[in-house]
């Protein structure tokens, strides 16, 4: 039977991309019985019932699966935050980074709206926060084109998902990469301080230089409901690299004696902001496990 990749899902229809073109499919009732839910990015087997239409009959094994945005088989997360309108929230950025790490994705931090930044020292301060992570960071501006060429290069030969809250400029970046898209963009609400949603569903776009990128709806909340306390440290690269040197196995790097991570914190090897967010997320995980 023919195979393809789901590139869009809207109102119960799955659009499966094949060398011959996209096929509009529904999922067999078997999926509901097995509690399977096809996702954009899934590779599937389908049965064509008539030209351009058919049924998804089987899901291929996944590399990973995201909940928000709902996607599968992602190679790279481009975590997007803006310097202004809305102003960058490092705590929210770290939430995205933790979830991308947990799914084993490569990570690229993309800082947008550089043209609205008056003091370059602010950018330097953000770079300092993440200096211990080895995450590549790109500074971009859609109006001036700064960083767009480097972003195109980073997207080659992989499936990347743009993740970040509404209004940070994900659609503007995609318009810069693929000008023919003309994706709708939205202004940031001055009253709420966050963006209005302009992307309504997840869609995979093929890039002329090779690779694929997904445009996704923005969102602003990420919980840790499925994560264990001992998993969290592995999602902070600067903590994960030092944890084996802690005296106690399963150290949570809070008050345990002979903790290499807390020693590194005192010596400036780990940034205070990142460690503060680690403790905040750890408490959230503990609180969620009580219920």
Q: For residue 109, what is the enclosing H or E element?
A: strand 106-112
The mean-pLDDT minimum among 81-90, 99-108, 215-224 falls in: 215-224
Position 35 scores a pLDDT of: 77
Is residue 223 marked as binding? no
Is residue 61 marked as binding? no
pLDDT at 165 over 80: yes
State how far the Cα of 237 lies from the Cα of 286, in Å rounded to an integer. Answer: 21
Is residue 176 marked as binding? no
Is residue 257 marked as binding? no
Of residues 88, 154, 93, the one with CA closest to residue 116: 88
**Helix/strand/coil (H, E, C) string of 149-170?**
HHHHHHCCCCEEEEECCCCCCH
Is residue 191 marked as binding? no
Is residue 172 marked as binding? yes
Residue 107: which residues within 8 A CB-CB, separation 6 or more? Answer: 76, 77, 79, 97, 100, 101, 135
Is residue 220 marked as binding? no
Domains (range + CATH), the chain: 3-59 (2.40.50.140), 65-215 (3.40.50.300), 229-289 (1.10.40.50)
Is residue 25 marked as binding? no
Is residue 63 marked as binding? no
Is residue 94 marked as binding? no
What is the pTM assigned to this prediction? 0.85
Is residue 113 marked as binding? yes
pLDDT at 29 over 70: yes
Round the average pLDDT of the chain to a whole number and report it: 88
Q: How confident is the model at residue 189 (pLDDT cuts 50, 70, 90)?
A: very low
Is residue 78 marked as binding? no
Is residue 246 marked as binding? yes
Is residue 189 marked as binding? no
Position 182 scores a pLDDT of: 64
* pLDDT one-digit tens code per residue, 216-270: 765 545 788 779 999 999 999 999 999 999 999 999 999 999 999 999 999 999 9
Position 193 scores a pLDDT of: 40
pLDDT at 194 over 50: no
The mean-pLDDT minimum among 33-37, 57-61, 115-119 falls in: 33-37
State how far the Cα of 47 lies from the Cα of 57, in Å rounded to an integer. Answer: 7
Is residue 169 marked as binding? yes
Is residue 41 marked as binding? no
Is residue 141 marked as binding? no
Residue 197: which residues within 8 A CB-CB, separation 6 or more? Answer: 166, 186, 217, 218
Q: How confident is the model at residue 14 (pLDDT cuts 50, 70, 90)?
A: very high
């Amino acid at each position: 039977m023919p195979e393809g990749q789901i590139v869009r899902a809207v109102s119960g229809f799955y659009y499966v991309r094949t060398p011959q073109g996209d096929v509009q499919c529904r999922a067999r009732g078997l999926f509901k019985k097995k509690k399977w839910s096809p996702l954009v990015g899934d590779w599937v087997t389908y049965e064509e019932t008539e030209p351009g239409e058919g049924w998804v009959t089987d899901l291929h094994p996944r590399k990973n699966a995201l909940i928000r945005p709902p996607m599968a088989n992602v190679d790279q997360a481009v975590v997007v935050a803006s310097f202004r309108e809305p102003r960058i929230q490092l705590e929210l950025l770290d939430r995205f980074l933790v979830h991308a790490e947990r799914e084993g994705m490569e990570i690229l931090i993309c800082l947008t709206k550089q043209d609205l930044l008056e003091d370059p020292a602010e950018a330097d301060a953000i770079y300092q926060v993440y200096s211990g992570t080895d995450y590549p960071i790109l500074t971009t501006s859609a109006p001036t084109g700064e960083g767009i060429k480097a972003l195109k290069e980073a997207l080659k030969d992989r499936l990347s998902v743009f993740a970040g809250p509404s209004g940070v400029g994900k659609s503007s970046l995609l318009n810069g990469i693929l000008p023919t898209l003309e994706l709708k963009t939205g202004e940031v609400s001055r009253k709420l301080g966050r963006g209005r949603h302009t992307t309504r569903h997840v869609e995979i776009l093929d890039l002329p230089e090779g690779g694929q990128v997904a445009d996704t709806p923005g969102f602003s909340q990420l919980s840790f409901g499925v994560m264990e306390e001992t998993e969290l440290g592995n999602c902070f690269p600067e903590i994960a690299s030092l944890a084996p040197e802690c005296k106690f196995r399963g150290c949570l790097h809070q008050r345990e004696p002979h903790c290499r991570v807390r020693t590194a914190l005192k010596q400036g090897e780990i940034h205070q902001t990142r460690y503060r967010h680690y403790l905040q997320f750890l408490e959230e995980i503990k609180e969620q496990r009580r219920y």
